[in-house]
Structure 1
Amino acid sequence: MLSKRQLLVLQVIIDEFITNAQPIGSRAISKKDDVSFSSATIRNEMADLEDMGFIEKTHSSSGRVPSEKGYRFYVDHLLSPFSLSDTELDVISDAFDKDMLEFERVVQKSAMVLSELTNYTSIILGPEVFETKLKQLQIISLSPTTAVAILVTNTGHVEHRSFNVPKEISARDLEKMVNILNERLSGVPIIKLQERLQTEVASLIKGYTDDFETAYHYLKGALFEEHPVKLYIGGKTNILMQPEFKDVEKIRSLYSIIEQEDLIADLLRTESDGIKVSIGQENKLAAMQGCSLITASYTLGDQQMGTMALLGPTRMEYSRVISLLNVLSRHMTRTFHSWY
C-alpha cells in the first residue's frame, strides 16, 4: 500500500515524463507547487518506489522514469477525468456531418480525427460485413460477358464484385434471380445467406432459369466471395515519430505489424466491451510491447460491435486519450443507431 506522499511523488514523475519524455529527479519534484517536502524526503520516497518496481533509474541520468508497473498503477488508481476543450469537442462533432451517410466515410473521418488530435496511430475495426444483414442486391450487366454485383448492407457498407457472366445465363434469368434474392434474402444476416440460398431460394431459382446449375454456381460466387478486413488506420507513421522509437529494428518491427491488417484486426476482435488499456508487456504482439494500446467499443444497429483504438508509447496521455475515445465512441454509436 503506497502512502499519500508516495502516491504524490509517483503521480508527479509519471505526469512529467508523459509531458516531457525526460527523467525527473528529486530536486525538480520538490519545486512543484503541490509538493511541500524536501528533496531528501523525496529521494527516500523515490528509493522506496524503485524498490517496489513503480519507477526505474535510467543509465543516462540520475532521474527516474515510470516502469510498466507504475503506468498500470497510475491508470488503475491515479487517473482523473480529463475535460476536453471546446475545440476538441467541436472537431469530433464535425466528423459526424449529417449529410455523410456512408459508414466508410464516417469511420475514415473518425480515424483521421483521432490521429490528428493525439499524434498517435488510430485504428478502427468496422463490424464485419459477414456480421451484418443484406439490405439490397443488384447485379448489373456491363457487357454480354461481364457484370457487377452490388451488395448493400444495413450498416451502409457497399460491396462491388465484378464477374464473368457465363453465356448460359440470359439477362432475363439474371433479372429474375435478383428479384427472388431481394424478396427472400433482404434482412438476412450475410453470414446466413449461403444457408438460406440452399434451403429456400434454390428451388425458386430452379423454376425460373434454363440452366439452374450454372446460375446457382454464379450466385454463390457473387454472394460468398471472401471478404477483406475492414480496418481503418489514421496517422500510421505517428507512432514512429515518438522519441522512444529511435532504434531502427524496433521501428521496422512495429511498422511491419501495423501493415499486417489481418493480424491487427484479430487483435482488436478479442478486446472486451468498453475501454481497455494494454501497457507494454501486456500486449500480445511482441513488436507492440514497447507501446500502449487503448481500445474502446462502439455499437452499430442490432448490437453489432466495432472497436476503435489508439497505439502510442507507454508514456501516453492516458486520461486525455480515454476521454477522446469515450466521446468518439458515443458519437459513433449514436450516429449509427439513428441510421438503423
Structure 2
Amino acid sequence: MLTERQLLILQVIIDDFIRSAHPVGSRTLAKKEEIALSSATIRNEMADLEELGFIEKTHVSSGRVPSEKGYRFYVDHLIQPQKLHNSELERIQSVFAERYYEFEKIVQNSAKVLSDLTKYTAIVLGPAVKVNKLNRVQIIPLNERTALAVLVTDTGHIENRVFAIPQDLNRADFEKVVNILNSRLAGVPLNVLQDKLFKEVSAILREHVDNYEYLLRSISEVFHLSEDEKLYYSGKNNMLAQPEFQDLNQIKNIFDLIEKEQDFSKILKKTPIGLHVKIGSENNNEAMNSCSLITATYNIGEEQIGTIAILGPKRMNYSRVISLLNLLSKNLTNELTRLYFWR
C-alpha cells in the first residue's frame, strides 16, 4: 500500500514524463508547486517506489521513468477523466453533423477525428458482414450488358457490385427483379442470402423473368460477400512522431502488425464490452510491448457490433484519450442506433 506522499510523487512523475518524454529526477520534482518536500525526502521516496517496481531508471545516472506496473497503477487508481475543451467537443460532434446515412462514412470520420485529436493511431473495427442483415437492394443499369447492384445492410454497411445481365432484360424486368429480391430477402442474414436465393427466389424469378438462370448466377455472385470484419485506420504515421518509436525494427514490427488486418481484427475482437486499457506486455503481442491500446465498444441498441481503439506509446495521455473514446463511443452508439431504427 502506497503512502499519500508516494502516491503524489508517482502521479507527478508519470504526468511529467507523459508531457515531456524525459526521465524525471528529484531536482525536477522539488521545483513542482504541488510537492512541498525536500530533495532528500523525494529521493528516498523515489528509491522506495523504484524498489516496489512502480518506476525505473533508463540507465544508472538517469532520472526515473514509469514502469509498466507504474502505468497500470496510474490508470487504475490515479487518473480522472479529463474535461474536454469546447473545440474538442465540437470536433467529436462534427462526425455526426452532416447526418450521414452510411456506416462507412461515420466510422471513417470517427477514426480521422480521433487520430487528429490524439496524434496517435486510431482503428475502428466494424461488424462482421455475416452478422448483418440485408435491408434493401438497388439495381442500376449501366449499359446493355452490365448493371450496378447496391446492397444496404441493417447497420448501414453498403456493398457496390457490378454484374453481368442478359442482353434482352428490359426496364420492366429490372423493376420486377428488384421488387422480388427486396420482398423475399429483406431482413435475411447476409451469410444465408445465397441459400435463400436458390431455394426460394429462383422459382419466382423463373415465373416472371426470361433467361432467369443467367441472371440468377450473376446475382448469386453479387451476394457472395466477405465474412470478415472490416478495419478502418487513421493516423498510421503518427507513430513516427513519438520519440519511443525511433528504432526502425521496432516501428517496422508495429506497422507490420497493423497491416495484417486479420491479426489486428483478432486482437480487437477479444476486447470485452466497455472501455479497457492494455499496457505493453498485457497486449500479449511482442510487437506491442512498447505500446498501449485503449479500446471502447459501440453498439446498435443493446447489441455490440464493433470496437474503436487508440494505439500509441505507453507514455500516452491516458486521461484525455479515455475521455475522447468514452464520448465518441457513446455518440457512435447513439447515431448508429438512430440509423438502425430509422431504417
Q: Which moved more, 1:308-317 or 1:201-210?
A: 201-210
Q: Percent identity?
A: 52
The aligned runs of 1:219-238 (5 Å cut-off) are 219-226=219-226, 229-238=229-238
After TM superposition, the structure 1 stretch with the greater mean CA deviation from structure 2, 171-180 or 142-151, is: 171-180
CA distance in structure 2 between the aligned counterparts of 1:225 and 1:147, rounded to whole angstroms? 18
Q: Aligned letter for 2:102?
A: E
TM-aligned CA deviation for residue 214 of structure 1: 4.0
Q: Specify the code of the residue in structure 2 equivalent to 1:100.
A: Y
Q: Pairwise mapping of residues 185-334 of structure 1 onto structure 2 (< 5 A)?
A: 185-209=185-209, 213-226=213-226, 229-300=229-300, 303-334=303-334
Give the distance between the partners of 2:147 and 2:3, measured in 1 at CA.
Answer: 71
* Structure 1 residue 213 displacement after superposition: 4.8
Structure 2 residue runs without a partner (length 5+): none
2:111 is the alignment partner of 1:111: yes
Task: Give per-residue Cα distances to partners, 1:182-226, cap 9 Å, x unaligned.
Answer: 101112222332343344334333444555654443332111233
5+ long unaligned stretches in structure 1 = none
| Deviation by residue 1:222-258 (Cα, 9 ceiling, x = unmatched) | 1123366532211110012100011111111212222
Provide TM-score, normalisation by structure 1: 0.91
Distance 2:242 2:82 in 1: 22
The residue aligned with 2:37 is 37
What is the CA distance between 1:165 and its match in structure 2?
Answer: 3.5
Rounded to whole Å, the distance in 1 between the matches of 2:215 and 2:108 is 37
Equivalent position of 1:141 in the other structure: 141
Describe the shift of the 1:292–1:36 C-alpha distance in structure 2 as closer, same or farther (beyond 3 A): same
Deviation at 1:94, TM superposition (A): 2.0
Shift of 1:173: 5.7
Map of 2:80 onto structure 1: 80
Q: State the SS of the aligned residue for 1:65.
A: strand
Distance in 1 between the 2:302 and 2:150 partners?
23
Q: Retained in 2: the 8 A contact 1:229–1:261?
A: no
Q: How many residues align?
A: 340
Retained in 1: the 8 A contact 2:129–2:226? Answer: no
Spell out structure 1 runs of 4+ moving beyond 6 A: 167-172
Deviations 1:139-165, CA, capped at 9 Å, x for gaps: 333233322221112222221111234
3-state DSSP of counterpart to 1:2: coil
Q: Is 1:16 aligned to 2:16, yes or no?
A: yes
Three-state SS of the structure 2 residue aligned to 1:244 is helix
| CA distance in structure 2 between the aligned counterparts of 1:95 and 1:211, rounded to whole angstroms | 46
Q: Does residue 102 of structure 1 match 2:102?
A: yes
Deviation string, structure 1 residues 23-60 (Cα, Å, up to 9, x no partner): 11112212222222222222222122212211111127
Normalising by structure 2, we get a TM-score of: 0.91
Q: Which amino acid aligns with 1:247?
A: D
> What is the CA-CA distance between 1:322 and the residue it aligns to?
0.3
Q: CA deviation at 1:308?
A: 0.6
CA contact (8 A) 1:131 1:304 kept: no
> Is 2:183 the partner of 1:153?
no
Distance 2:75 2:302 in 1: 32
Amino acid corresponding to residue 23 of structure 1 in structure 2: P
RMSD of the alignment, in Å? 2.3
| Residue pair 1:155, 1:301 contacting (<8 A) in 2 also | no
Q: Contact 1:299 / 1:305 at 8 angstroms: preserved in 2?
A: yes
With 85-94 and 96-105 compared, the bigger mean Cα shift is at 96-105
Residues 88 and 117 in structure 1, CA contact (< 8 A), matched pair in contact too:
yes
Q: Which residue of 1 aligns with 2:68?
A: 68
Aligned to 1:57: 57
User: What do residues 114-159 of structure 1 show as CA deviations (whole Å, max 9, x unaligned)?
Assistant: 1111111111112233322211112333233322221112222221
Cα pair 2:164 2:218 within 8 Å, conserved: no
Aligned partners of 2:55 and 2:66 also within 8 Å: yes
| Match in the other structure for 1:90 | 90
Q: Distance in 2 between matches of 1:97 and 1:197?
A: 38
- Contact 2:191–2:227 (8 Å) recurs in 1: no
Deviation per residue, 1:290-318 (Å, 9 max, x gap) = 11010111113562511111111001000
Distance 1:83 1:310 in 2: 18
SS of corresponding position for 2:97: coil
The alpha-carbon distance between structure 1 residues 17 and 210, as it changes in their structure 2 partners (threshold 3 A), is same
Aligned partner letter, 2:189 = P
Q: Distance in 2 between matches of 1:149 and 1:250?
A: 44
Partner Cα distance (1:318, 1:287) in 2: 20
